[in-house]
Amino acid sequence: MDIKEIENLIRFVSSQKNVGEVEIEKKDFKLVIRKPAQNIVAAPQYIQATAVPAPQMSAPAAQQTIEAPKANAENNAPAAVASNLITIKSPMIGTFYRSSSPDKPSFVNVGDEVKPGKPVCIIEAMKLFNEIESEVSGKIVKLLVDNATPVEYDQPLFLVEPN
Amino acid sequence: MNQFAKIKPNTQFIGQNIIYFKCIDSTNNAALDWIKNNSCENGNIFITDFQTNGRGQQSNIWESEPNKNLMFSIVLNQQTTLLNPFLLNKITAYSLFQSLQKSLNNSQFIKIKWPNDLYFKQKKIAGILIENNFLGNKINYSVIGIGINVNQKFTNNDNINATSLFQICEKEQDRIRLFQEFIEVFEFNLLHFQSLEIENQFTKSLLGYNQTEEFNINNEIIKGTIVNCDEFGRLSVLINDQIKAFNHGEIKQII
């Protein structure tokens, strides 16, 4: 089996919602492609391909991780999405601010409780100021974006542990 | 005295309820506080004769003499309208453009400086500060703050790049009438923005539209032509036979 065939196989497995694992065994060669359990349903589709080569096989085939076509850098951060955490996302392209003005304290910090209607940040775009309120109640467990940095539409901003 | 109390605008909801303050820090803050403590009544207007801390972008202070200008904030309940914030900005700026143009006998010198300042020749005459509130990813309400220099007198010592209707016409203007005209045209545009092609009208009213002029892009002076303002509010500029779209802050028009 060459690298192209392995890639194609990984692509095939990643495209099949109901396939979690494929195992191929030949006389001197065994290949297991296994999706982490949550990846069968979750958005960030990183597929782990673990080739278990026989001793005579060349090194490059060993322990490779190949990115499935759907995955992209943006989905990198919220790997925990598949757990019970809820992501607060940006409703628009703009600049992310943690407070209403530089001399004011941040709306929320890690560990703070939020409830529906609690402001969490400002997204400024084209001189329009957009205050984003939480829709959920829970605890902020992670900040995913630095203050005063650009954000894309739908980019995850906070992880909330619901209560 | 509250002169705004006598206004009966010919509208369905904009300005049917006008809340007047003789003096307040900022009408946007008053509107936002009101909504948080009470309810968001569609079309309510908060207006004052003197603003002590009018906010502009990056805490620019809107300089204003008492009883001379127009400073007000309109509340829009967006739970049913769900207007795209960039479209709302265009409707607001174009309505202000129309009202000012009418006050100045259809002057060709009134222009919208992207994204939302109003200019007469090279000087600012009115400004807009829109604050939107989102619940999660859904727009909830908008507060549209507007400041218009009506009868303020500027001296050369003021050293600010601003003008007023008085300064241009050399006579006092009826700011109550201007206010009423604005809210009526604003509601009409809000209700008919598609058939009126407001987005297109906005673009055509931009300062520098379809003219070759200089821009500062990354501290470089580059010649270009404004050709559009897209659905995300970005300015599309034709530079060396290529159209590029810029966010606010990425490009500065040299005027």
Provide the pLDDT for residue B56: 54
Out of B59, B131, B233, the one facing A125 most closely (by C-beta) is B233
Of the two residues B227 and B80, the one the predictor is more confident about is: B227
Instruction: Report the CATH number at residue A118.
Output: 2.40.50.100
For residue A51, is it within any domain?
no
The pLDDT mean for chain B works out to 92
Mutation to test the B interface, candidates A87, A128, A153, A154, most B Cβ within 10 Å: A128
Q: State yes or no: pLDDT of A82 exceeds 80.
A: no
For residue A59, is it within any domain?
no
How sure is the predictor about A19, in pLDDT bands with cuts at 50, 70 and 90?
low
Q: State yes or no: pLDDT of B162 exceeds 70.
A: yes
For residue A77, is it within any domain?
no
Q: In this structure, which topology does domain B3-204 adopt according to CATH?
A: BirA Bifunctional Protein; domain 2 (3.30.930)
Of the two residues A32 and B179, the one the predictor is more confident about is: B179
Provide the pLDDT for residue B117: 96
Provide the pLDDT for residue A61: 42
- What's the total number of domains in chain A? 2
Q: State yes or no: pLDDT of B61 exceeds 80.
A: no
Residues A86, A143: one domain? yes
Residues of chain B with CATH 2.30.30: 212-253
Distance from CA of A100 to the nearest CA of B (A): 11
Q: pLDDT of A26-49, one tens digit each?
A: 667 677 777 665 443 333 333 334
- B212-253 CATH choice from 2.60.120, 2.30.30, 1.20.1070, 2.60.40: 2.30.30
For residue A46, is it within any domain?
no
Provide the pLDDT for residue A9: 67
Tell me the chain B residues in contact with residue A131 when contact means C-beta distances shorter than 8 Å: 131-134
Q: Do A135 and B136 touch (CB under 8 A)?
A: yes
Q: State yes or no: pLDDT of A52 exceeds 60.
A: no
**Cα B2 to Cα B19: distance, rounded to the nearest angstrom:** 10
**Cα B254 to Cα B113: distance, rounded to the nearest angstrom:** 11
For residue A47, is it within any domain?
no
The closest alpha carbon to B128, from B194, B192, B202, belongs to B202
Percent helix, strand and coil across chain B, each to the nearest 5 = 25, 35, 40
For residue A97, is it within any domain?
yes
Q: Which domain holds residue A100?
A: 82-162
A:B CB pairs within 8 Å: 67
For residue A114, is it within any domain?
yes
Provide the pLDDT for residue A17: 61
| Residue B211: count of CB within 10 angstroms of its CB | 10
The closest alpha carbon to B94, from B70, B66, B128, belongs to B128
**Cα B45 to Cα B20: distance, rounded to the nearest angstrom:** 8
Residues A89, A150: one domain? yes
Spatial contact of A95 and A39, defined as CB atoms under 8 Å apart:
no
Spatial contact of A107 and A99, defined as CB atoms under 8 Å apart:
yes
Burial A11-27 (b: 16+ CB within 10 A, else e): eebbeeeeeeebeeeee
**Cα B115 to Cα A127: distance, rounded to the nearest angstrom:** 7
For residue A64, is it within any domain?
no
Alpha helices in chain B (DSSP H): 27-37, 85-103, 165-169, 175-191, 198-204
Rounded to the nearest 10°, the torsion over CA B128, B129, B130, B131 is: -170
Q: Do A130 and B85 touch (CB under 8 A)?
A: yes
Residues ≥6 apart with Cβ < 8 Å to B35: B75, B133, B141, B143
Residues A87, A158: one domain? yes
Share of chain A above pLDDT 90, in %: 44
Of the two residues B29 and A24, the one the predictor is more confident about is: B29
Distance from CA of A129 to the nearest CA of B (A): 5
Tell me the two tokens of residue B213. 């002029």
| Residue A150: count of CB within 10 angstroms of its CB | 15
Residue B196 phi, psi dihedral angles, 5° rounding: -85, -5
Q: State yes or no: pLDDT of A54 exceeds 50.
A: no
- What DSSP line would sit under B95-128, residue for residue? HHHHHHHHHTTS-TTEEEETTTEEEETTEEEEEE
Tell me which of A8-12, A118-122, B7-11, B119-123 is least confident. Answer: A8-12
Tell me which of B9-23, B53-67, B201-215 is least confident. Answer: B53-67
Distance from CA of A122 to the nearest CA of B (A): 9
Provide the pLDDT for residue B148: 95
The pLDDT mean for chain A works out to 74
**Cα B159 to Cα A158: distance, rounded to the nearest angstrom:** 44
Task: Over range B201-219, report the average pLDDT.
Answer: 97
